[in-house]
Structure 1
Amino acid sequence: MVLDFSNRKIRNKILYSVCILMGVMTGFRNHNDWRDTYGYVASFEKIKTLDLFDVNQDNLLYQEKGFYLLTSSIKTLCNNSTFYLLCIGLLSSFLLAKNLSRYCLFPFLGLGIYIARFYMTRDLMQIRAGLAIMIVCYAIQYIKRKKLWKYLLIVLLASSMHISVLLAIPFYWINKININCRKILLWLFVAFVSAFICEAFINLLLNEHLEIIKQAYIDGNSEYSKGHGLSNPMIYFQCLILLVFTFSEKNLKDIIPYYFIFRNGYFYSTILLILLSPYLVLSGRTSTIFATFEIFIIPSFIIILSGKLRIAMYLVIGCVMIGIFFLNCLSLIDSSETLRNLM
């Protein structure tokens, strides 16, 4: 907490140092102890170096050519899986530090929120998505500057790491819509009603127009494809964050330069989470892109209050995030020996 109220230059130096240290810890994790990591390591072993690069190489965990090229480049430098994970971890952590220093009022609190909400699933498991989302967050500055082509080029670069972030492209135009508090409340109501009564219609729409997504994330009867529907507590968590941020517009819009971009993006994320709630992975993969704005939004709640109440709010947010972190640990404990040993 002291660091967030310290000199900006000193704060940023410490922030980058902490994030780089986090990237190093990420790189030296046990390859067999986190979901997806073993698959990425296996793909790394199969991938050819740049001198033998084959754009059509198959039998990999992923199809995105940008991440394939990045992996091939790392392997050309050093054919070692730990070095590979270290490079990806450091790149993601560097972008995280850059985004926090640019967008967040209290970056160390934002870092704590990131660790609680996203670190284990992204940096330790879904490393392509984690890297791609950090690139998209970096691109947000070009929406405010109204530099469409720079934004599109960076998002397309990110999509070459993970295809899901293509959903960030229409956000450039969604952000131009005049979205106010009444519209947010109305669309949340519509989304809840639609999710409750229109699951069959949504499934038909996906079946007719997005067959690849349907096959990847919906077909089958596994826990992987079936979601919790409207009983998913994350829906109500996001709704709460969105509404607090929305009703605090007068207090925050002049302090946070990116206020409306953050609010509109988080609104976009929440609507996707509600509408696609019957499908576990599809709702998560689509909503998580702009759910990342939590690391910029939640720390701003401190500004709503004044005096000693700000310190109290800081501590309350910290305690809530510690609770969420432990809940995430419990959800992953069966698949991670590291977590079992720690807990």
Structure 2
Amino acid sequence: MSIKPNKFLAFGVLFSLAVISGLRSNIGDTYFYKHSFEINNYTWDFVKSQKEIGFGILQMILKRYSSDPQILLLTTAIITNVLIIIVLYKYSRMFELSTYVYITGGWFLVSMNGIRECLAAAIVFTATKFLIDGSWKRYILVVLFASTFHESALVLIPIYFLSRYRAWSKATFILLGLSVLIVLGFDKFSSVLFSAIKDTEYGHYQNFNEGGANTLRVAVFGVPIIISYFGREKLRGIFPESDYIVNMSIIGFIFMIVSTQNWIFARFSIYFELYQLILISWIVKLFNQKDQRVVYYLILVCYLIYYYYESVKSLNIIYQSNYI
């Protein structure tokens, strides 16, 4: 039986997310986006000179209406959150839990930092139906469109074909094994990788030296995947399309494992964490009926503690707005 949340309340969630994100004045690289929007003259010649032409066109259109950079923040926040919430509404077993983890898991905060990349991720996320149906041509078209906002979206093209395997098949364990080998031989791997991308906009990451991703973040990413492994047969029974969602989550976990050696690889996990939001909403149902309530509340408590640790203790995030 299909279970859908109240549309009015779901809209209320969407409205609050868009307003809080869109009316901010700080967080991450928000300042640089605002500054760029203010100083640049978005003519066609200027837009065509940019690598991500889609984002340039969006800014060109917005600047015709206002030179206030808040219009850029508000518009991108609305688009990003609308696209994500629509997909969660359609595929999540427990919409409220997916939305809760969207916030406490950190993706909502990340969307206020990497505007272009998160916008691209949200666009690709809308192609979940094509991923499930195996409509690779339509999926790739969506990815190509998303890449006009951030080129990193192109990584989803080869990953589409990897995700089409049955979850937890030999291919899954080969990928996990490769990720461990990459970590063990990271110096060799990184020299080959950065040599290959040195002439792209990502070439400067060769000198990126801010250490690896927090191991706690990797663990938080991995726990739902481990649970889905032990309940894989039941998951297929209650959610037949779960293989593709699980595969995308696993690939994101692989990027997170590699990111323990260099944080920059965690940026690619942005595209896959959204699928984990769907997965988390289903894993509660993998437990016995009498245990589901406990598991549900345990998820709420654990993610709240994680959110406090990440946002307050680790990153010391202080939200600011000129409107709220």
Q: TM-score, normalised by structure 1?
A: 0.84
**Does 1:240 pair with 2:223?**
yes
Opposite residue 288 of structure 1, the aligned amino acid is I
Moved beyond 6 Å, runs of 4+: none
Instruction: Report the identity percentage.
Output: 21
Distance 2:93 2:319 in 1: 36
1:1-343 equivalences under 5 Å are 8=4, 11-29=6-24, 31=25, 33-49=26-42, 52-55=43-46, 63-180=51-168, 184-185=172-173, 187-196=175-184, 198-211=185-198, 212=200, 215-220=203-208, 222-223=209-210, 226-228=211-213, 232-281=215-264, 283-330=265-312, 331-333=314-316, 336=318, 338=320
Instruction: Indicate the SS of the match to 2:145.
Output: helix
- Answer yes or no: is the 8 Å Cα contact 2:117–2:150 preserved in 1: yes
Q: Which whole-Å deviations, capped at 9, do the CAs of 1:259-309 have from their partners, x for residues lacking one?
A: 01111111111222223431112x111222112212111121111124342
Instruction: Indicate the SS of the match to 2:164.
Output: coil
CA 278–78 in structure 1, closer or farther in 2 if over 3 Å, else same: same
Opposite residue 299 of structure 1, the aligned amino acid is S
Instruction: Indicate the SS of the match to 1:312.
Output: helix
Distance 2:3 2:283 in 1: 21
Q: Which whole-Å deviations, capped at 9, do the CAs of 1:192-237 have from their partners, x for residues lacking one?
A: 24312x11221221133121366332315x42xx325xx7233333
Q: Extract unaligned runs of 5+ from structure 1.
A: 1-5
Distance 2:282 2:231 in 1: 10
Distance 2:40 2:29 in 1: 16
The Cα of 1:338 is off from its aligned counterpart by 4.6
Opposite residue 68 of structure 1, the aligned amino acid is G
CA-based RMSD of the aligned residues comes to 2.6
- Answer yes or no: is the 8 Å Cα contact 2:132–2:241 preserved in 1: yes
The Cα of 1:179 is off from its aligned counterpart by 4.4
Q: Extract unaligned runs of 5+ from structure 2.
A: none
- Relative contact order, higher structure (CA 8 A, sep 6+): 2
The Cα of 1:183 is off from its aligned counterpart by 5.1
